[in-house]
Amino acid sequence: MNETVISPPNSIVTEASLLGCLLHNNDFLTVCEEFAIREDDFYEPRNKVLFRTVYDLINSGKVADITTISNKLATEGLLGEAGGIEYLMQITEDIFSVSEKSVTAYSEIVKEKSLHRKMITICRDCISSSMSQEDTFENISDRATTNLVNLSNEKNVATTFLVRDVVESEIKSLRDRLKSESFLVGLDTGYDRLNDYTSGLKGGEMVIVAGRPGMGKTSFALNLAANIARTDNAVLFFSLEMPKEQLVQRIIASECGVNSQNLMTGRMEPPELKRLWEKIDRVNKLPIYIDDAAFLTIPSLRSKTKKLISKGVKIKALFIDYLQLMNSSIKDDSRVRQIEDISRNIKLFAKDMDVPIIALAQLSRKVEERSGKKIPMLSDLRDSGSIEQDADLVMFVHREEMYDKNTERRGTAEIYLEKNRHGSTGIIPLMFISEFTKFRSVSPEEEVGFH
C-alpha cells in the first residue's frame, strides 16, 4: 500500500525567483533584510547554498553575479551542491518580473512558508518530548512557549518610521492631554509627587520597586495596582511569595480602611464593619487579576499574560512579586547570570506588550551594614547589576522606623526614586498606615516633619 508523503510548506519556484531577482539587482538584498530572510528560510538545499553565497558576496562589498558566485562556489567545493552553472543560469532566465514589488512579494512568501515549517518542528518536538516523558511538563511547556515567542518575533514588523509620522502621533496625544487637562503620559500611580517625576507609568517601561524585607514593598505595589485599576485599567499581579487570599486581604484592608489583622481574625468592631460593607463593592469592581503560582519563568509569564489577553482582557500593567524568586529557563549555574537573563527578558516583554512591568526586588544586606542612615543605593540591588541597567525606573521603599524603633518619624515612609531614564530623580514622602497596609500622600503640614 502506497502512502502519500506530504512535503512541509514550501515554494521552490518562489525561492528561485527571489534568488534570480537578487542576481539581476544586488540592491534588492535590502528588501530581503527587511523580512529577516536567512539561509534557513529556504527549503531547497541548492537555494540555501546560493543565498548564503550571494549574501556573503554582497556584504563583503563585491558583486554577486553568475561569474563571481560560480567562482566562489567552485573554490569552496560547493558548485555541485548549488546545482552547478546550469541551475544558476536557469534561475536568472526564468524570472517573470524583476522589481522591488516582486521581490517584496517573493520575500513574504518565502518567509511565511519558513515560519510554518518551523512551527511544525516546534510542535513535533513537543509531541516527541511528551511521548517520551524524559522531561517535566513545565520544562517542555516553557521551551515550547519560548520557541513560539521567538518564532512570532521573526515575523516582519515595521520598525523604521518617518519622523513626520511619529510627530503627528505625538501632537495628537498632546492635544488629547491638553483637552483633558491631564499632563500624565502614562498610568496614574495615585501619588501626585511620583506622577510629577515620572509623568505616569508608561508602556514599555521596566519599573523596579526594591527594598529590604519588611519595608512594605508588596503593600506599596498593591497600592499602585489598586490605584491603576481604579481608573478601569486591568492589572495582572504575579505573586511568587504570597497566596492570593493574603493579597486580597491586604487590598480590602487598604481600600476599605479596616485593620488587616482584624480582617484576618474576624474580630471587627461595628464601625470597622460598617466601613467594610460600605466600600467592599468598589474592591469587587477593581480589574485586578492575581496569579499566585510559586513557579514562574519568562515563558510562562508571557504565556499567562497572552492567554488572559486572548480572553478579551486589556492588560495595562503587570506586577511581579518578586524578580529574584523567578526561575530562569537558561541552564547556567550562576544565579547572577540567570537574573541577568530574567531582567533583560522582562524589559523586552514590557516593550513587546507596550505596558509597564513593575517588578519588585530584594536589596542585599549591605544596607544594614551601612553606618548612619540606612538609605538604599543602586549598588544594593541583589544578584545583578543588570537590573539597574535594564530598568527605566528604580525606586526604593524606605521606612526609618524599621531601623530605629524610637524614631519620631514613625508612620512615615520615603520612596527614593534613584533612577529615572526619562526624568529627574528625587524623594517622594509618604505616610504608611501599617494596620491598613496603606501608603498615602502627605499633606503640606505633614511634609514639614520630613525635613
Span 37-50, pLDDT tens digits: 888 999 999 999 99
Secondary structure of residue 343 in the 3-state scheme: helix
Residue 117 has pLDDT above 90, yes or no: yes
Residue 156 has pLDDT above 70, yes or no: no
Q: Give the list of residues 6+ apart from residue 125 with CB closer than 8 angstroms, or none.
A: 143, 144, 147
Copy the grid coordinates of residue 80.
Answer: 555541485
Q: How far is CA 156 from CA 115, 310, 409, 416, 424, in A?
A: 11, 22, 56, 41, 36
Most confident of 137-141, 270-274, 282-286, 325-329: 282-286
Q: How far apart are CA 255 and CA 230, in angstroms?
A: 10
Q: How far apart are CA 245 and CA 55, in angstroms?
A: 58
Nearest to 20 by CA among 57, 45, 2, 47: 47
Confidence of residue 158 (pLDDT cuts 50, 70, 90): low
Q: What are phi and psi of 204, to 5 degrees?
A: 90, -10
How confident is the model at residue 225, as a pLDDT?
92
Quick one: average pLDDT of 232-249?
88
Quick one: average pLDDT of 76-100?
85
Copy the grid coordinates of residue 79.
Answer: 558548485
How confident is the model at residue 322, as a pLDDT?
80
pLDDT digits (tens, 9 = 90+) for 400-418: 888 878 777 787 888 999 8
Q: How far apart are CA 375 and CA 360, in angstroms?
A: 18
Torsion (CA) 269, 275, 280, 285 in degrees, nearest 10: -160
Q: Give the list of residues 6+ apart from residue 267 with CB closer than 8 angstroms, or none.
A: none
Count of CB atoms situated within 10 Å of the CB of 9: 14
Quick one: average pLDDT of 62-82?
90
How confident is the model at residue 312, as a pLDDT?
86
Quick one: average pLDDT of 215-230?
91
Residue 243 has pLDDT above 90, yes or no: no
Nearest to 367 by CA among 230, 178, 213, 137: 213
How confident is the model at residue 451, as a pLDDT?
53
Secondary structure of residue 443 in the 3-state scheme: coil
Read off the pTM: 0.70
How confident is the model at residue 1, as a pLDDT?
46
